[in-house]
Structure 1
Amino acid sequence: MKRFLDNLYKNQSIVYKGFLFIATIVLIVYLFPKGGKFKYDFQKGKLWQYETLYAPFDFAIYKTDAEIKKDKEAIQANHPDYFRYEDAITDAVYNGFDEKFNSYFPSDDYGKSERDRLYSYGQELLNTIYEKGVVQFNSDYTDDSVVNVVKRNEERTVLYGSFVKLNQIDRLISTFIKEKGLTEYKSQYNSLYFDIIQPNVFFDEVLTAKTLERELAKVTTTRGNIDKGKRIIAKGEVVEGEKYNILSSLRKEYQSKLWNESNYNWIVFGYTILVGITLFMLLLFLQKYRQEVFINNNKVTFIFFNILVMIFLTTTVVKFNVDYVYVVPLCIMPLILKAFFDPRLGLFTHVLTVLLLGFIVPNSFEYVFLQIIAGIVTIQTISELHKRANLFISVAQITLVYIIAYFAFYVIHEGNFENIHWITFGLFVLNGLATLAAFPLIYIYEKLFSLVSDVSLLELSDTNSKLLKELSDKAPGTFHHSLQVANLAEAAANEIGANSMLVRVGALYHDIGKMNNPTYFTENQTTSVNPHNELSPEESAKIIIDHVIEGIELAKKNNLPDRVIDFIRTHHGTSLVYYFYRKAYDLNEDVSKEDFQYPGPIPYSKETAILMMSDSVEAASKSLKNPTFTIINDFVEKIVTKQIDEGQFLNANITFKEIEQIKKVLKQKLTNIYHLRIEYPE
């Protein structure tokens, strides 16, 4: 058990990557839509490239969205509105007639037989008015409008014109009185009915909506059937019209049949294999070509996290509304990865992510093509991200490429652009605007994953920053030396294609540890008094060596990124403080080298190796009295060769060719510093 735990501890980095690998696969497969994948890939307007296809089973032809919409619109146009007959109001009107009749036709003024006759006519008129029902006038209906009336839970269909409208009551009363010869009683009848008449038929909005919803639910999503064995499409035929609809129906039916309980585990297993292969390719790429990223679990986690975020956003949009799939700013990922790592890693990761998304989006070929082209444009156009204008220019170019490529695909599919969906171009613009979120995301990722981007490096390179200002005040000689080293290292990095911004920042901060004891370093000594004269060689060497350790502590205290601290840690590697070692050796030949040796580690990147060379050459160049081209050439060769012989660059992943290029730049820069001119023969 102890041996197992020891091995587990020794290989904890590999164990973590294995756990991250499996967890990412599980999450991606979980996010994938739960549906099978149709084994034929086809696009409208293109030739059918497979063998002649026969129906593998009976299936229905699904209507298109436009057909379903048309059917629903027809139902809505022909659906009658519902009105409800209120018996309680009718009874209230008749009761009101009985109560108020005596008020308008008092027994003192009319005989009994006369009052009975007027009452009977009044009842007859009331029956005429309420025979079909009374409604409030509504200009939305015509007399020919068909409506349904619900009376005592019985439904019947009538014309809206059969109802009596309130604005027709006066005319109806006048006509009735004239027919019955009751003109002398017109004012009494008008006053009586004005008091009691009210509508008893009302529009029932709830019932109308409910019945309409019920009718719309009856709209079928299919039309006709295809029998098993029937030929659907022959090889070489164009996928269009009815053939396209039938193929789409077969794909939909196939996926619904495929993704059932019996096949579920096998489909998940297949997805797991494909996703696993894709992520394994990414790990292989990191292990072979980006070793410094591969060994850093934090960076590997960051890359996998970005893949998960993009897949999550895309699958969420696909489930919500697939029409908005191009709003997802997928190009943010290569942009961010380039800001923290390099273009090749950014593009490789982007391509793998797009291939995974091809499983879940419709028209996967079109989607994959557009996104890969956009990713390439992102990598090609984004440079010097710390310059804000560059991001806006790049986003504009990415959006333009999206629009042009989509336009080309549409023309290929449709043969014209008369019915092109202009709203899709608006989605691409939204995509571009969302891509601008890269700036705040870079800042957030820096804090979450302790990474450093060019934007942060630019801020750190400001010589007015707190730490560099303090270095300038306490150790002006060291500050000047750091500026010179930064210029040399930046030029060398540009020559071999290394990260010049990173190496410049590393050079500016590499000697900050000298602030604690500035006078013990020759560049800060302004008088002839050398404090080392009062110390033993061992004590002097310790002070010199400690500037590395104290620099690391100072950098951490001021929250400098680890990538910058690496330059402080490695800029002397494991070299000797040779002057004091030799001085101690002359006093005692048994002196230990370890007491005069920097703790290391040796440089483990091109950038840290460049700084070591630039720092040594610049510091030693101060001892040159009357430099010439030959002296400078031999001087640089001697220093760099000694570092190579000591094995300082074994872990730096730097070639001899690149070292020669760096030496050439250092010689040229020193020549410019000392203002040497070519000596022409007289």
Structure 2
Amino acid sequence: MQNFFQKIVQSIKKTKWIPIVISGFVLGIFLLFITLNNVYTKTYDIKRFNTAKETIRSPITIENEQETERKTREAVQSVKDRFDISKEITNQRIQFIEEIFEAINTIEKTEAKKKNDEASLTHQEKLQQLKQILSPEITEQINDSVFAYLLELDEKERNKGKKELTESVKQILSNGVRMENIERATSEAISSIKYTDLEEDFKKHLQKLAEFSIVENSFFDYDKTMEAQKSAASNVDPVVIRAGEIIVREGQTITNEIYEELKLVGLLNKERNFYPVISLLIFIAMILSIITYELFVLDKKQGIDRGIILSVLFISILVISLMKVISLYTTTTNQLFYTVPVATGVLLVKLLINERLAIVLASLYAILGTIIFNGEIPGSLNMEAGIYFFFSQMAAIIFLVNVKDRLTIMKSGIGMSIVNIVTVLLFLFLSFEKYSIKDLFLQSGFGVLSAFLSAVLAIGLLPFFETSLGILSDIKLLQLSSPNHPLLKKLLTEAPGTYHHSVMVANLSETACEAIGVNGLLARVGAYYHDIGKTVRPHYFIENQLAIRNPHDFIEPRQSAQIIMAHPYDGVEMLKKHKMPKEIIAIAQQHHGTTLLKYFYYKEKETDEHVTESEFRYPGPKPQTKETAIVSICDSVEAATRSLKEPTKEKIEEVVSSIIKDRLTDGQFDECALTFMELKIAQQTICDTLKGIFHSRIQYPEKEEV
């Protein structure tokens, strides 16, 4: 039963999805806690006509349809009825006036042309003649006394009156006369004549003609009125309550209008807040799904451990926390999000893990920034912050190349600063608001500060992740590759032959690993330290035996095997003592796997036929990673080719091929992910490298002289 539970525990430890899921759950809870107030609307228990205890802003942008409808109704009602003025009626009434005066002038001219023997018409006869030639509509509505008076007037005086009457009537009728204001129009015409310089009796008769001339000539136009009302309604702008707009201030009375606005934006509806939380949970789930997928891809490609998973968790928490803290001090009047050292996270991810994951996380952090910096206005996104964060992080990833030391991070900060400044200027120039030189320098300074802080934080936090979480970065590997490291100094002084061997193995391993797409730098550094255990008994290894007898000639094969097989584990103890990374320790421990010491095994078999292979096999374990497997091949290949007297091209290829086949048939690669295609590529790469190394030493056969 105890063994059963031990197997379960071991299988759980080997299962990567459990720590990934747990870390994802922790990150999800943290994201929910950080972003909840950015989507969750606070509700209030408020009654009409009470006093507001605090200033309340709208959490959303929404149209107040009821208020828009009221304004539209008012606009339509304010449209006056449209009337169509009849030009025919206006012209007709003017023509009537002209007809009267022309008819009188005609009669008078006719009388003037008569000869002395012809009898003149009496006044009454003239009146009868005038009535006969005038239109019936005129004679029926105008009293004869008006005609009689006009006939007695002097032509010049009559024409003057005609002009005054015509102008007055024409002006009034041109403005339009409706039925309801016909009396006012008539009075206006009478008043106009009253204040002329004509004789009083003439004015009275002209006023009667004005009363006759002023009639209704303006009629209601339904089509024009409806068109005007529609135009007025379409010109009414919707009444919109903007997100962030103050609905009621502290101490202000909650009027019925304010209460309806609070109700409209959902500040009185507790049930409405449930939906944004659901959307936030979906959003967080999508974020975590992408991160989880990328971790599984990373595990499949190069393998991950607890340290990498925790690094992603802690880096994400760090970046999101920095954004949240600065968002608390960001308002509409300042743009403090420019100062967020958001690139810290992707710098650490690229240094500690890889570039692909850094790019993915950069995109996710930028998206989260649009929510965190939305001013706690649910439903809104700060796209400006998101774009800035994206470009800033991408600049950090792009400019962080050829990492040799921690100063490289500071150099990438210069590139980040330039991109940050360009992005800030982009937003300023796109803005419709006026900006000053002070704004340019201030906000550009924020961008430079963000880049500087990102670089400084990355440099400061890198040792924490390297030591506390056991993450091996390229910078750490480069430091370990320095010849000034105490262990490498020890190897050089106490076992110079082994040191030279390790350098050669490192060159071969790095080239082969890079050819198959794995960490060549790790293989190089691991190769430097893989035989560090030989410094315990350096003279028992042939590469260090200069001008001395081989000590193995004086001891038993079993004893020799024990000494030789101890060096990987002696090295492990030394590496652990110096707190070396576990990846380097693993290469030192596994580079011989469980291979057989054939020389001493067969030597012992000459005297003891019952000897077993297990006594002359390394305890293992077998190589667990591709890098370790490549180092193990290169270790054997380098030793074998160095022993060749005439290392020709064919001999090198034969040695490399035989060593790889031997390891394959012996099952030494069963526990690592090396494929046959990768082995073939590595074999070719190793052969090409060795040919270059031994080129000057290859002796070609001389041509015989004839």
Same fold, TM-score > 0.5, yes or no? yes
Q: Is the Cα–Cα contact under 8 Å of residues 649 and 691 in structure 2 kept in the other structure? A: yes
Q: Return 5+ residue gaps in structure 1 as ranges.
A: 39-51, 60-228, 235-241
The reply to whether residue 355 of structure 1 matches residue 364 of structure 2 is: no
Question: 2:22 is matched with which residue: 19, 24, 47?
Answer: 19
SS in 2 for 1:603: coil
Question: 1:455 is matched with which residue: 475, 480, 491?
Answer: 475
Q: 1:364 to 1:505 in 2, by over 3 A?
A: same
C-alpha displacement of 1:349 = 2.4
- Aligned counterpart, 2:35: 32
Q: Is the Cα–Cα contact under 8 Å of residues 37 and 255 in structure 1 kept in the other structure? A: no
Size of the alignment, in residue pairs? 492
Q: How does 1:529-568 map to 2 (within 5 A)?
A: 529-568=549-588
Q: How does 1:108-119 map to 2 (within 5 A)?
A: none
- Aligned counterpart, 1:284: 293
Aligned equivalents of 2:307 and 2:269: distance in 1? 39
C-alpha displacement of 1:312 = 0.8
- Aligned counterpart, 1:120: none
Q: List per-residue Cα deviations over 1:128-179 (Å, max 9, x = no partner).
A: xxxxxxxxxxxxxxxxxxxxxxxxxxxxxxxxxxxxxxxxxxxxxxxxxxxx
Aligned equivalents of 1:496 and 1:522: distance in 2? 32
Q: 1:679 to 1:520 in 2, by over 3 A?
A: closer
Aligned equivalents of 2:273 and 2:19: distance in 1? 29
Q: Is the Cα–Cα contact under 8 Å of residues 646 and 698 in structure 2 kept in the other structure? A: no
Question: 2:531 is matched with which residue: 511, 521, 540?
Answer: 511
Q: 1:608 to 1:416 in 2, by over 3 A?
A: farther
Aligned equivalents of 1:4 and 1:622: distance in 2? 50
Question: 1:298 is matched with which residue: 307, 310, 330?
Answer: 307
Question: 1:617 is matched with which residue: 629, 634, 637?
Answer: 637
Write the letter of the residue equivalent to 2:445.
G
C-alpha displacement of 1:5 = 9.5
Q: Is the Cα–Cα contact under 8 Å of residues 302 and 518 in structure 2 kept in the other structure? A: no
Which structure has the larger Rg?
Answer: 2
Write the letter of the residue equivalent to 2:443.
T
- Aligned counterpart, 2:447: 428
Q: Using the TM superposition, name which of 328-337 and 357-366 deviates more.
A: 357-366
Question: 2:542 is matched with which residue: 522, 532, 538?
Answer: 522
C-alpha displacement of 1:53 = 7.2
- Taking structure 2 as the reference length, the TM-score comes to 0.62
Write the letter of the residue equivalent to 2:12.
N
Q: 1:600 to 1:351 in 2, by over 3 A?
A: farther
SS in 2 for 1:290: helix
The reply to whether residue 640 of structure 1 matches residue 643 of structure 2 is: no
Q: Is the Cα–Cα contact under 8 Å of residues 374 and 401 in structure 1 kept in the other structure? A: yes
C-alpha displacement of 1:418 = 6.8
Q: Is the Cα–Cα contact under 8 Å of residues 420 and 448 in structure 2 kept in the other structure? A: no
Q: List per-residue Cα deviations over 1:440-498 (Å, max 9, x = no partner).
A: 22123222212222222222112222111112222221112112212222333344443
SS in 2 for 1:625: coil
Aligned equivalents of 1:447 and 1:395: distance in 2? 24
The reply to whether residue 673 of structure 1 matches residue 693 of structure 2 is: yes
Q: Using the aligned pairs only, state the percent identity.
A: 28
Aligned equivalents of 1:474 and 1:484: distance in 2? 18
Write the letter of the residue equivalent to 2:510.
E
Aligned equivalents of 1:254 and 1:361: distance in 2? 26
- Aligned counterpart, 2:318: 309
Aligned equivalents of 1:292 and 1:570: distance in 2? 21
Write the letter of the residue equivalent to 1:434.
L
- Aligned counterpart, 1:664: 684
Q: Is the Cα–Cα contact under 8 Å of residues 36 and 256 in structure 1 kept in the other structure? A: no
Question: 1:408 is matched with which residue: 411, 421, 426?
Answer: 426
Q: 1:247 to 1:631 in 2, by over 3 A?
A: same
C-alpha displacement of 1:415 = 8.9
Aligned equivalents of 1:603 and 1:303: distance in 2? 27
Q: How does 1:315-464 map to 2 (within 5 A)?
A: 315-322=324-331, 323-362=335-374, 363-387=381-405, 390-414=408-432, 421-422=439-440, 423-437=442-456, 438-464=458-484
Q: Is the Cα–Cα contact under 8 Å of residues 298 and 304 in structure 2 kept in the other structure? A: no
- Aligned counterpart, 2:283: 274
Write the letter of the residue equivalent to 1:377.
A
Q: List per-residue Cα deviations over 1:167-213 (Å, max 9, x = no partner).
A: xxxxxxxxxxxxxxxxxxxxxxxxxxxxxxxxxxxxxxxxxxxxxxx
SS in 2 for 1:559: coil
Aligned equivalents of 1:672 and 1:549: distance in 2? 33
